[in-house]
Structure 1
Amino acid sequence: MDPENMFNVDDSGYTTVHKPGKVIAKKGKKYVGSLTSAEKGKTITVVCCVSAVGQYIPPMFVSPRVRMRPDLLDKGPAEAIGVANPSVWINEELFGVWFDHFLKLVRPASRPEPVLINLDGHTSHTKNLTLIEKARENNVVLLSLPSHCTHRLQPLDVAVFKSINTFYDQAVATWLAQHPGKIVTEKEIPELFMIGYGKGGTIKNAVSGFKKCGIFPFDLEVFTEE
């Protein structure tokens, strides 16, 4: 299978209360710290997808609300989509929305060979008959990973999310410093995520993730007996 037909989809949470970075100061110096937005905040789930050649599918934002507002995607990644769920969890219906988004952009049915989507074993994937049937109809193979393996077998987990999350936290810290007395809200997350996504969601990181997982180039020796 060609690398342009290999994809990995996964989600990550982004909170309005970021984790402050470490602060370096002289020994014994008092009152040194860094800003965070608040003690409690909201978390938005972002569904990302990338191929073995570094093609990124515009992400899907899941907001913690009953109805999605279009303005909540302002200044976010181009062609990103948004849905709402009070629990912020991905369910069968919402993953179906993402899959339709994927089909629209990738058009796997028109490709000469099947498109592979590597994903975790969440019930919204494995127990979603509508999704499975639609995948078969559109030349897509869904490969669900075994439990407790995703941190080693998902390119997004291995090489992309960590970088995006680091730059996202830096973007939040910068925003707080530039807006004294204000807190990050749900409305700012797409813009701040866009900064992290632009810096951490690189072709190099995506290609590296598939290589480290042994997916492409295919490598059985990536994981030792240990």
Structure 2
Amino acid sequence: MDETGVQHGVANKRFHHVVGAQGRKDAPAARKDGSQELTTVLECIGAGGAALPPAYVFKGKQTDLTLLCEEELGGSITSSESGWTNTAIAHEWFKKVFLPESEELSGKEVHRLLIMDGHTSHFTLEMMKLAKQHNVHVLSLPSHSTHGLALLDRACFGPLKTAWAEEQRKEMMMTNVVRREDVIRLYQHARKKGLSEAYIRSAYRATGIWPLTGIAAIPKAMFAPPPRNEQEMTEERNKAYMSSQLAQSLWDLSGKQRSDTARQQLVTAARTLQGASAVDSLFGDLTNRLRMHAVGSGNEGQATCISGSTSRLRKSETVDFRRGHCCYIGG
């Protein structure tokens, strides 16, 4: 599960239409900097290629039920003062959207895995208790790993945002405004393109979550190199010594040059070599010693994660999701 935001509202007088060749990726976009409002959408996708109905969070103290008057559109709606999700909204989404919809896809008495980022607005104690009762295992992604492991970010939200921008552009050209009543209709059109089965399956493959490939989503550059052995450390010291000798030779050679330009070039090269050698000697050996110490003490896997995020829920805020025949309706 993850959330995204879509902007809608009125374009100002500077809004103008831009005509360009069809299919051009570099074609300029139309101006739309008028009175804009953000609506949050909660999305959840399954490894089988299906997506659960979306949940819309409109900005406001009360939810306008007429925004979801067309049952065939599906989904659920609610509101918050900020237009963002909070713990109450996440809890109600889990109870009235995720549990029944995911059970319909997987079947009863089947264990389910819900993957979310670690933001505090997504978790409550009541939700965790409810998850345990219904055989749902909630997995929070590690800090600073969502760019590699967040399913929707990897393969779905990009095409979805592109499709939404196109739907918004077409609506603006006709009416110069995207009203609240238009958001769900336009988003559903964009959703058919951005949350297709192909994109959903691609997201699971790209993150290595399914089929399970372990660390496929994390680039090798993000992993610390293995500790160097004694032979490698000796070779590094020899390289540093050779660099130092070469730098000294360049210094000696610079004093024999008549040309100021040649002398300056040799001096610059010598300083560069000395600087590189000093940095490698200082940080390379220090890093290796720290790694060797961690391995020797058995703490190589130790990490400390500090989360400074806070909940955006006010005590006075309440949320209510209601289910109709073909969709979820919230008030």
Give TM-score scaled by structure 2 length: 0.58
Give 1:39 deviation, angstroms: 2.6
State the alpha-carbon separation in 2 of the partners of residues 150 and 216 from structure 1: 16
Partner residue in 1 for 2:68: 73
Partner residue in 1 for 2:191: 197
Partner residue in 1 for 2:48: 53
State the alpha-carbon separation in 2 of the partners of residues 172 and 51 from structure 1: 27
Instruction: Say if 1:74 and 1:191, in contact at 8 Å, map to a contact too.
Output: no
State the alpha-carbon separation in 1 of the partners of residues 31 and 92 from structure 2: 33
Alignment of 1:95-134 (within 5 A): 95-100=90-95, 101-107=97-103, 111-126=108-123, 128-134=124-130
State the alpha-carbon separation in 2 of the partners of residues 58 and 21 from structure 1: 33
State the alpha-carbon separation in 2 of the partners of residues 119 and 187 from structure 1: 29
Partner residue in 1 for 2:266: none
Partner residue in 2 for 1:5: none
How many residue pairs are counted as aligned between the two chains? 208
Instruction: Say if 1:58 and 1:77, in contact at 8 Å, map to a contact too.
Output: no
Instruction: Report the identity percentage.
Output: 26
Q: Letter of the aligned partner of 1:59 in structure 2?
A: P
State the alpha-carbon separation in 1 of the partners of residues 107 and 190 from structure 2: 33
State the alpha-carbon separation in 1 of the partners of residues 110 and 100 from structure 2: 17
**Is 1:146 aligned to 2:142, yes or no?**
yes
Q: Letter of the aligned partner of 2:61 in structure 1?
A: V
Q: Letter of the aligned partner of 1:87 in structure 2?
A: S
Q: Letter of the aligned partner of 1:43 in structure 2?
A: L
Deviations 1:12-51 (A, max 9, x none): 0000169x999758xxxxxx96434443311000000010
Instruction: Say if 2:73 and 2:188, in contact at 8 Å, map to a contact too.
Output: no
Instruction: Say if 1:76 and 1:194, in contact at 8 Å, map to a contact too.
Output: no
Partner SS, residue 35 of structure 1? coil
State the alpha-carbon separation in 1 of the partners of residues 70 and 168 from structure 2: 15
Change (3 A) 1:224 1:37: closer
Q: Which has the higher strand share?
A: 1
Partner SS, residue 211 of structure 2? coil
Q: Which has the higher contact order (CA 8 A, sep 6+)?
A: 1
The match for 2:3 among 11, 19, 36 is 11
Runs ≥4 in structure 1, deviation > 4 angstroms?
A: 20-25, 74-77
State the alpha-carbon separation in 2 of the partners of residues 139 and 93 from structure 1: 21
Give 1:55 deviation, angstroms: 1.3
Change (3 A) 1:35 1:76: farther
Partner residue in 2 for 1:188: 182
Change (3 A) 1:167 1:139: same
Partner residue in 2 for 1:207: 201
Give TM-score scaled by structure 1 length: 0.83
State the alpha-carbon separation in 2 of the partners of residues 146 and 135 from structure 1: 20
Instruction: Say if 1:47 and 1:60, in contact at 8 Å, map to a contact too.
Output: yes
Q: Letter of the aligned partner of 1:121 in structure 2?
A: G
Change (3 A) 1:192 1:35: same
Partner residue in 1 for 2:170: 174
Give 1:111 deviation, angstroms: 3.3
Change (3 A) 1:122 1:52: same
Partner residue in 2 for 1:225: 220
Where structure 2 has 5 or more consecutive residues not aligned to the other structure, the ranges are: 22-26, 222-331
Could you say which structure has the larger radius of gyration?
Answer: 2
The match for 2:59 among 61, 64, 82 is 64
Give 1:153 deviation, angstroms: 0.4
Partner residue in 1 for 2:239: none
